[in-house]
Structure 1
Amino acid sequence: MRNSKGSLMRPDPLPSSASHPVVTPLSPSVVYASETPDALDDQYEGRVHGYTYSREGHPNADVVAKRLDAMEGATGGVVTGSGMAAVTAVVMGLLKSGDHVVGGNQLYGRSLRLMAEDLPRLGIETSLADPGDIAAVEAALRPETKMILVEAVSNPTLAIADIDGLAKLCKDRDILLVVDNTFTTPRGFRPFERGADIVIHSITKLLAGHSDVMLGYVVAKDQALNDRLRVFAVTTGLTPSPFDCWLAERGMLSFELRFDRAQSTAVTLADHLSALPGVKRVIYPTRADHPDHDRAMALLDGQGCNMVSFELDGGREAANAFTRAADGLSFAPTLGDVATTLSHPASSSHRALSAERRAELGLHEGFFRVSVGLEDPKELCAVFTDAVAAATS
């Protein structure tokens, strides 16, 4: 501190210590002070590392990015304020007016809205195709196609993309393959190992895992693309909160344990639901009756992750009865919490779609998506038994 008489003069940020904190310190400062203009030049021009203004980066975001980089086998990832901010950074930061992007036809609802309404308004043309049908994707391509955006496992019907076929198609046509890996996570699938160019995550979900964080992440194989993504995110203010990053790091420390426990319970729950009267169908990647079972087993190396979808007999009335009777389970449009949550796409993530379009995707009024949490499997199955019985009585 240079002037001890000034009550508002800033002291040195941290007292000196021969030891260091075990937990990463939270750094909420919006600005960082430099010694001189020359010192600031050194930072901006890359001769030294330092922070300037938190919209341009801060320590807590870097900690999370490096953890995810290691999990995905990448370097230079960018943390954003939400999963949709990461999607936006990719399509708007890398594409321009006149370009064309093909999206999977079962993307997350807001991604579908971005494709259908916002990108065309900005002059970026879009098409949708089944990512499990390479012929359909190839038919949707145009000379101006620059990108294909898919989810490895779709939200919410758990359809499995043909990543190997898409990677070959993209390589042959010099097109970027972007994979949203939120459902699968790096524990279930590593897209770069199967030919993806860019990977997206909603950290909000299973990675952070406690329903108290809103963050996204994006990383490219090509560092020049990472630089473009970072500049766009900084310019448009897709800034992550230091506090959310701090919470996310805490959640990520237990991620693998949570993933394995939730996945194990999801297998049990899927089999249990399939035997209940009143359940029309159950969708889980490792089940033999999954439409993409063989592809799922090959792509996910025998894993199914923590998401289970199923459809009740009956319509909205049955759905209402089910959620009322699902004692202790949160009916909420989210996934990846420590507790099991229920989502009803027709009234939440895909409500913007017409009833006809939802029907084409198989999202009827009795359709639910389950994000399996960490409860005792027997107790969880008992809750579903009672809730399904209430819905069909």
Structure 2
Amino acid sequence: MTDRPRGTRRALFPSSVSRPVVSPLQPSVVYASPDPDTLDAQYEGGAKGYTYAREAHPNAELLEGLLNGAEGAGGGVVTGSGMAAVTAALLATVRAGDHLLGADQLYGRSLRLMAEDLPRFGIATSLADPTDVAAIEAALRPETRMILIETTSNPTLRVADVDGIVALAKARGILVAVDNTFATPRGLRPLERGADIVIHSVTKLLAGHSDATLGYVGANDPALVERMRVLSQTMGLTASPFDCWLAERGLYSFDMRYDRATANAARLAEALAGMEGVTRVIYPARQDHPDHARTATLLSGEGGHMVSFEVAPTRAAANALVRAAEGIAFAPTLGDIATTLSHPATSSHRALTPEGRAALGISEGFFRVSVGCEDADDLIRRFAQAVAAANGV
């Protein structure tokens, strides 16, 4: 019988004069230190090392560095999901007695967090139109601590007046957090425009393959980054090493995927606008978009990879369109390498009343498209087929 190695539970990696081309995946939950003095040094910053994966691990740290560079952030924290990143940003900065002002077209779960969860902790919340600085100003209170906006809203693709809101907030000593998931760092780097916090659902276009659930929250203020990091560690908002490893892989092709998807989205929006039965097309780079001028200045004229459109406002038409959308996944997500189709009335905004959805411009015939990297002509053909089926109803 071969003797087992003595004095250790795991064999060490064999030494090698070569190195892996792909970053190693390190799924270990715990890390062993040689003695208590070394562990003290690790916790007190005198020595570099890992202790427990909820606090830090190599794959998260590597991904954080890449995302910090992409957003121009002084520091950041990778979290287990996009909503975990939103939670870290809010709970590390606001407290009982504070007021949080949000954009009135935030992602559905962000709206729920503001409407139902934060008030339980004594945090007052309200909403205002992020495209109208006057409306934001009118909604401020003496106790307003933070303004939370999305660069491009979900799913109506309105473009926030980031510069105007940041200027207003700076004059009042209020923090601004920007969820930059739709725009991505290629479209906008909010910290460079004066925002205090930038948030991402890395799950989406940054990772780009629908196989990793992650978030990121970054800032330039080291004290703010540390508060968000400690809160994430304490509340267990931890990112999986495997998901971090997958997202790192996705980031290396992000620029190419962004360019292809954005070009395809512009073509699809133009084609949809000419299809019989399509009553509305929403794409920020189009001349008929209400924020077209802001898109030109804030987002360098690029509309991004998201397109929304509307057909007859009935469930029958919606069902027919989805069933006829050959090869296009009907799924409540975005940012995949392939195009996905979403129906906000039954997914992201299903918790709202019909009247609430109508106020946002979301009907039964409203669809959101996350455009992928397929051949654009083939993509247009598929949507023409789907719209024709909706018209047939």
Query: Given residue 48 of structure 2, which amino acid in structure 1 is its aligned partner?
Result: H
Correspondence for 1:326: 325
> Does structure 2 conserve the Cα–Cα contact (< 8 Å) formed by 1:82 and 1:204?
yes
Once the two structures are superposed, the pairs formed by residues 275-290 of structure 1 within 5 Å of their partners are 275-290=274-289
Q: Residue in 2 aligned with 1:271?
A: 270
Give the aligned partner of residue 301 of structure 2: 302
Question: How far off its partner does 1:12 sit?
Answer: 5.2
Q: Say yes or no: does 1:233 pair with 2:243.
A: no
8 Å Cα contact 1:66/1:75 also seen in 2? no
In structure 2, the residue matched to 1:63 is: 62
Q: RMSD of aligned C-alpha atoms? A: 1.1
1:76 positional shift: 1.8
Counterpart Cα distance in 2 of 1:5 and 1:200: 48
How far apart are 1:14 and its partner, in Å?
1.9
The aligned residue for residue 174 of structure 2 is: 175
1:96 corresponding residue in structure 2: 95
Q: 1:240 is aligned with what amino acid?
A: A
**Cα distance in 2 between the residues matched to 1:313 and 1:241:** 42
* 8 A contact 2:313–2:363 mirrored in 1: no
Question: Secondary structure, in 3 states, of the residue corresponding to 1:54?
Answer: coil
Identity %: 65
Match in the other structure for 2:8? 9
What's the CA shift for 1:13?
2.9
Is the 1:284–1:304 contact (alpha carbons within 8 Å) kept by the matching residues of 2? yes
Distance 2:251 2:361 in 1: 33
1:221 aligns to what?
Answer: 220
Per the alignment, in what secondary structure is the counterpart of residue 55 of structure 1?
A: coil
SS of structure 1 residue aligned to 2:54: helix
3-state SS of paired residue (1:279): coil
For residues 43-54 of structure 1, what are the structure 2 equivalents within 5 Å? Answer: 43-54=42-53
SS of the aligned residue for 2:46 comes to coil
- Contact kept, 8 Å, 1:314 with 1:392, in 2: the verdict is no
Name the TM-score, length of structure 2 as normaliser.
Answer: 0.98
Q: Counterparts of 1:388 and 1:119 in 2: how far apart (Å)?
A: 41
For residues 362-381 of structure 1, what are the structure 2 equivalents within 5 Å?
362-381=361-380
Checking the alignment, whether the CA contact within 8 Å between 2:88 and 2:228 is kept in structure 1 is yes
**Cα deviation code 1:62-114 (max 9, x no counterpart):** 11110000011112210000000000011112211111100000000000000
For 1:376, the aligned partner's letter is: D
SS in structure 2 at match of 1:28? coil
CA contact (8 A) 1:329 1:341 kept: yes
In the alignment, the residues of structure 2 paired with residue 220 and residue 6 of structure 1 have an alpha-carbon distance, to the nearest angstrom, of 46
SS in 2 for 1:314: coil
Which residue of 1 is the match for residue 82 of structure 2?
A: 83
In structure 1, how many angstroms separate the alpha carbons of the residues matched to 2:266 and 2:5?
64
Matched residues in 2 for 1:206 and 1:354: separation?
Answer: 29
Q: Where in structure 2 are the equivalents of 1:148-187 lying within 5 Å?
A: 148-187=147-186
Shift of 1:10: 2.8
Q: Which residue identity is paired with 2:347?
A: S
Residue 195 in 1 paired to residue 194 in 2?
yes
Distance 2:313 2:213 in 1: 35
The aligned counterpart of 2:18 is: 19
Q: Retained in 2: the 8 A contact 1:151–1:181? A: yes
The 1-side partners of 2:161 and 2:200 are apart by: 19
For structure 1, the 5+ residue unaligned runs are none
| CA–CA separation in structure 1 for the residues paired with 2:117 and 2:10 | 47
Counterpart of 1:324, as a letter, is: R
What's 1:120 paired with? 119
Corresponding residue for 1:106?
105
Deviation per residue, 1:257-286 (Å, 9 max, x gap): 000000000000000000000000100011
Question: Corresponding residue for 1:36?
Answer: 35
CA contact (8 A) 1:278 1:388 kept: yes
TM-superposed deviation, 1:45: 0.3
